[in-house]
Structure 1
Amino acid sequence: MPLTPPALRPHDRVAIVSTARKVSREEMAAAVDILTSWGLEVVLGESTTAEHHQFAGTDEVRRRDLQQQLDDPSIRAVLCARGGYGTTRIIDQIDFSGFAQHPKWVAGFSDITTLNCHLLNLGYESIHGVMPFIFNQTGGEQALETLRQALFGEPAAYSTPAHPLNRPGTATGELVGGNLTLLQNLSGTASDCALAGRILFVEDVAEYLMNIDRMMVHLDRSGKLRNLAGLLVGHFTDSLDNAVPFGQTPYEIIATYANKYHFPVAYGFPVGHEPQNVALICGRPAQLSVTPAGTKLSYL
């Protein structure tokens, strides 16, 4: 079972880094205020002011910043500022031996799926949740509260309404997943997670319907769907189509492949690139219950 990092306490130090797209100190101001209101001391890493084309500094700057915060025993959590693209470019150069001596929470989503999966492979839980760049987004207050609960070790459980594509059933297993494109990109790498016996959650943004189908075909052909304990399907936001329509919605595409198997499936789960993006603890054993009345997810 993956190791759970220590829960945060008031006066703990937390670091914000950007392993992917660039940000500015001004864009981090609201997050700093919110984290401070939680009783935390905030450290802004050098990548929060660095810039190299679209990236938050060169690969070396982003690698060095993440490494420094992972190694510093006084930093009790590392929050990734935003997604975009770039974490896969540096993950293989990160040394986690210092982190292993002083495990801490690492949190983020989207491109940070790379870190979530990599840490799970190393035997540590991490948080898939809202990032500082959008801490103050309209409608995201509940999602932010679930992140605070996860960081401070407070219990959480989620309920969602029934969806016509849901497949009823009950499953237990460790949570794993994130952005579908990143899960596909990690295939065959050191960050590629085993899915057998686990509850997979997926989401994506601004992806072509044909590509969603292609990625689901790959998951199916590679055997990764076969032995899932359960599947949570989150937001597929701003999906794109070609001039000749693909003919299915993202949920219909996913159902095409999920329906080949017998695990419970819940659609419309509040995770992904929308304000309703609840924190999920990757690696945490959970129970998924899908009934005609709706879906419940709770940690064991």
Structure 2
Amino acid sequence: MPTIAPPPLQPGDTVAIVCPARKASHQELTAAVTTLRSWGLEVVLGASTNVEHHQFGGADEVRAQDFQQQLDNPAVRAILCARGGYGTTRIIDQLDFSGLAQHPKWIAGFSDITTLNSHLLALGYQSVHGVMPLLFHQESGEESLESLRRALFGESVGYSIPAHPLNCLGTATGELVGGNLSILQTLTGTRSDCSTAGRILFLEDIDEYLYAIDRMLVHLDRTGKLASLAGLLVGHFTNPQDNTTPYGQTPNEIIAYYAGKYGFPVAHGFPVGHEPQNMALICGRMAQLRVDNTGARLAYL
């Protein structure tokens, strides 16, 4: 069954910024609010912003109630998660997404927000994996921010990247699925888990030990999530960690080993993840990936 795409944003629409994971102050969000208003949008700062409970944007109940309020408000046409970190998995089972059937809306974020991207796809809804308000104005991030705007407003989005020595050539067509590797592994077997069969998977992560990246790939492989892929996009694996005795492989080499077992097209070096180059991807949107000797291209169908 095709996934449901919320309506594109229009000037005058209202968007809400919430903190389902780590905290963010109004001061930290000021620049993002200014940018969103420059796009012609009205902005609501949810009750989970500008509050804190240890590292979280308020206690679990505060974050869940705020997110639910924005979900249930038909005037709110998109929910932007202020930042990632940790905490979305703590509240996901408290949320009721049934109202989206009457009022579909875009939900956007990445990193810990992969929880929402995956949960929504499991329910049949598209969402945006992209830069979050706290990072709107990071240095060299202008292209990423523009890709988010284009995705939310329904404008054309497509990407081309240079060739990489670990690429696997070929053409793949399928819906996009993926995000943060450690979150995807954590969601396996839960209600937020979604199928990868026949889809194009994209992966990214930050600060993970090399052996842990391998362990998570083993888990995904053993659960069958790699064997049935149409294709794979390998994004940024920022600041990988190692033990005193080196693991002996880079993140890309680890992923290439497991992907190489199946022969689907693979594009390494895709600009998604915890770097300024974090281009917006629409989870659940049908796309085509072409990988040849000159590089890789991703286009929506």
Give the TM interval when normalised to the shorter protein.
over 0.9
Residue identity opposite 2:53 in structure 1: H
Question: 2:44 maps to which residue?
Answer: 43
2:282 aligned counterpart, secondary structure: strand
Question: 1:295 maps to which residue?
Answer: 296
Question: 1:104 maps to which residue?
Answer: 105
Question: How far is 1:100 from its partner?
Answer: 2.1
Residue identity opposite 2:225 in structure 1: K
Structure 1 segments, 4+ long, off by >2 Å, are none
State whether structure 2 residue 5 is matched by structure 1 residue 4: yes
Over residues 249-294 of structure 1, what are the superposed CA-to-partner deviations in whole Å (9 max), with x where a residue is unaligned? 0000101111101100000000000000000000000000000000
Question: How far is 1:97 from its partner?
Answer: 1.6
Question: 1:63 maps to which residue?
Answer: 64
Mapped to 1, the partners of 2:59 and 2:187 lie a distance apart of 21
Question: 2:122 maps to which residue?
Answer: 121
Question: 1:92 maps to which residue?
Answer: 93
Question: How far is 1:216 from its partner?
Answer: 0.5
Over residues 98-146 of structure 1, what are the superposed CA-to-partner deviations in whole Å (9 max), with x where a residue is unaligned? 2221010000000000000000111110000000000000000000000
Q: How high is the TM-score relative to the length of structure 1?
A: 0.99
Residue identity opposite 2:291 in structure 1: V
Residue identity opposite 1:47 in structure 2: S
Mapped to 2, the partners of 1:175 and 1:140 lie a distance apart of 22
Question: 1:204 maps to which residue?
Answer: 205
1:10 aligned counterpart, secondary structure: coil
Residue identity opposite 1:71 in structure 2: D
Mapped to 1, the partners of 2:186 and 2:78 lie a distance apart of 26
Residue identity opposite 1:67 in structure 2: Q
Residue identity opposite 2:32 in structure 1: A
The percent of aligned pairs where both chains have the same amino acid is 71
Question: 1:244 maps to which residue?
Answer: 245
Mapped to 2, the partners of 1:122 and 1:187 lie a distance apart of 15
2:175 aligned counterpart, secondary structure: strand
1:1-300 equivalences under 5 Å are 1-300=2-301
Over residues 55-76 of structure 1, what are the superposed CA-to-partner deviations in whole Å (9 max), with x where a residue is unaligned? 0000000000000000000000
Mapped to 1, the partners of 2:86 and 2:212 lie a distance apart of 18
1:89 aligned counterpart, secondary structure: helix
2:219 aligned counterpart, secondary structure: helix
Mapped to 2, the partners of 1:33 and 1:219 lie a distance apart of 41
2:211 aligned counterpart, secondary structure: helix
1:218 aligned counterpart, secondary structure: helix
Mapped to 2, the partners of 1:84 and 1:135 lie a distance apart of 16
1:247 aligned counterpart, secondary structure: coil
Question: How far is 1:39 from its partner?
Answer: 0.4
Over residues 21-48 of structure 1, what are the superposed CA-to-partner deviations in whole Å (9 max), with x where a residue is unaligned? 0110000000000000000000000111
Residue identity opposite 1:239 in structure 2: P
Q: How high is the TM-score relative to the length of structure 2?
A: 0.99
Residue identity opposite 2:164 in structure 1: H
1:226 aligned counterpart, secondary structure: coil
Mapped to 2, the partners of 1:58 and 1:288 lie a distance apart of 41
Residue identity opposite 1:214 in structure 2: R
2:227 aligned counterpart, secondary structure: coil
Mapped to 1, the partners of 2:106 and 2:268 lie a distance apart of 28
Mapped to 2, the partners of 1:259 and 1:99 lie a distance apart of 39
1:178 aligned counterpart, secondary structure: strand
Supply the RMSD in Å over aligned alpha carbons. 0.5
Residue identity opposite 2:206 in structure 1: V
Name stretches of at least 5 consecutive residues in structure 2 with no aligned partner. none
1:39 aligned counterpart, secondary structure: coil
Mapped to 2, the partners of 1:287 and 1:222 lie a distance apart of 25
1:47 aligned counterpart, secondary structure: coil
Mapped to 2, the partners of 1:28 and 1:270 lie a distance apart of 24
Question: How far is 1:222 from its partner?
Answer: 1.2
Name stretches of at least 5 consecutive residues in structure 1 with no aligned partner. none
2:119 aligned counterpart, secondary structure: helix
Residue identity opposite 1:256 in structure 2: Y
